[in-house]
Structure 1
């Protein structure tokens, strides 16, 4: 066996010491990064489930009821509110649900249930910058507002929308206007969520509007006519049409990045496409393993969480424009909240 001189011995000891420190340094670095959690509404499973990110390890779930649909969290991320839709989709018959569920996100439990009977099919859910909760009754075409949702047992305001089947909506940050996709009438309807004397402004855009999003400056409203596969840009102040663009067949959701570019969930094409806010032209396409009925983009975020029809969440890096991860969920994932 060759002899080991003093210099070799010292280098060997140093290397062993460094190697022993590497796992400790890695563990400390990992501990310094707080674990994120994604709360996901699983419509078919009738629950909201919690998953660690990015690996998607199940952390627990809260049973709710038949077909919970849209979810929104308060600005503090303490409570989430979920609409009790009660049927599989707006095309399906049945009375639907009459309640909203309030979820304690910290303790992962049902905090309380708000009974809104006789009004039913509570679907769209939004919150403004003041922490006021908005919920949309599809069957009654009513927009309800809760000024203090953590304690409210009933709405502080209910505004008649004047539609036929009011399915989805968005609201301005200050709560001064709400925009409703009325699927059965082909209308987009603008209302004042505080003043019922304000005559709703209606714009017919086609067959069945569904996905809606506001531009970052809230001057433009983007609307998807789902079965027609057409993206519309409307003036958010008047609802006058500005532009339109044919998509890759049926499309369901649109979200807006911080830079104003649009992300479209193409149902028929099983893809995402990115579009210019100036021209609506397609700039990029990303194929998906399944259609995405739910797009979840945290405010100011660069990571999109797409809920897929094959019961998975796809994690998409928007800067790299690629799928970077994903995990399995319960049946029919849809809206999600990043914690």
Structure 2
């Protein structure tokens, strides 16, 4: 019988794991090169693609990794490693509605595109991010526009992966913009500014800040739930906030007792899975905004996704 399964990168255990959500049991793990990080899946949930970041955090120095790791989700096998050299410190990953894969090289500040990731052996195109230390990015559903979060230049840049003549358009919403969330209509980009402790709403057409609001300490990531609510992870405050997208004002607050590394929503149930730096994943009831239980993990659970296997 098929069951809800949590796919989870465990960054400091250097592996990709499968967990039974109901029991919390770790079903299996696949060892990977040191410090895997972000991952995405194709729409059929056949393959997962893990970026080999290769260093522990953005604050650690080093060349890092330069590959994408293609994993068969059902067989739990590493299919292959796609070498992206000379592009390294592979961090932000996205897939568009056509299952084209986009990968961001933090060190080279370059956005790479694999048009057929299941078979491509190298990127088919690349565009500069227009910023420095490009860490994460938002992507339009059609893949025509990306918005890069540039940690060292303190900018958010709009780029066109399929238009080689488009010059990146920059916005400076605050210090160290990192988290991002596109509105459902893709007309507004919400950004968290970690050093400024602010949230910004950027008009995606003009790349200007429409409005902003103060946040809790070290607001790191932004997530839009299926019901339209927006969640922020507050790394310094060790908490989650629910904010109103129309004002960016906090409407609800949940202390976590640990730092939220990443969060994912169940595709059909009112549940979220919150990866914590205490080596566990909190199962969060979104209706009551309370933690139901914890799943014990290996070292540093990171990005996750719920699939039916």
Specify which of 209, 212, 221 is matched with residue 180 of structure 2: 212
Q: Which residue of 1 aligns with 2:49?
A: 81
Task: Calculate the TM-score normalised by the size of structure 2.
Answer: 0.96
CA distance, structure 2, for counterparts of residue 261 and residue 233 of structure 1 = 15
5 Å-filtered alignment, 1:178-193, equals 178-193=146-161
Distance in 2, matches of 1:324 and 1:298, equals 14
- Per the normalisation by structure 1, the TM-score is 0.88
Matched, 1:240 2:208: yes
- The alpha-carbon distance between structure 1 residues 207 and 334, as it changes in their structure 2 partners (threshold 3 A), is same
Name the structure 2 match of 1:202: 170
Question: Could you tell me how far apart the structure 1 residues matched to 2:162 and 2:266 are?
Answer: 27
Give the drift of 1:128. Answer: 0.7
Report the 3-state secondary structure (helix = DSSP H, G, I; strand = E; otherwise coil) of the residue aligned with 2:56. coil
d(CA) in 2 for partners of 1:74 and 1:143? 19
- Determine if contact 2:188/2:202 at 8 Å carries over to the other structure: yes
| Partner SS for 2:260 | coil
Matched, 1:127 2:90: no
Q: Verify: 1:151 aligned to 2:119, yes or no.
A: yes
1:15-46: CA deviations, max 9, x gaps?
xxxxxxxxxxxxxxxx6xx3111010011111
1:299 CA drift (Å): 5.0
- The answer for unaligned runs of 5 or more in structure 1 is 1-30
SS at match of 1:44: helix
Partner of 1:320: 288
Decide whether the 8 Å contact of 1:296 with 1:336 is kept in 2. Answer: yes
Q: State how many pairs are aligned.
A: 307
Larger Rg: 1
8 Å Cα contact 2:15-2:31 kept in structure 1: yes
Deviation at 1:338, TM superposition (A): 1.1
Quote how far apart the aligned CAs of 1:216 are. Answer: 1.4
Q: Give the strand-richer structure, 1 or 2.
A: 2
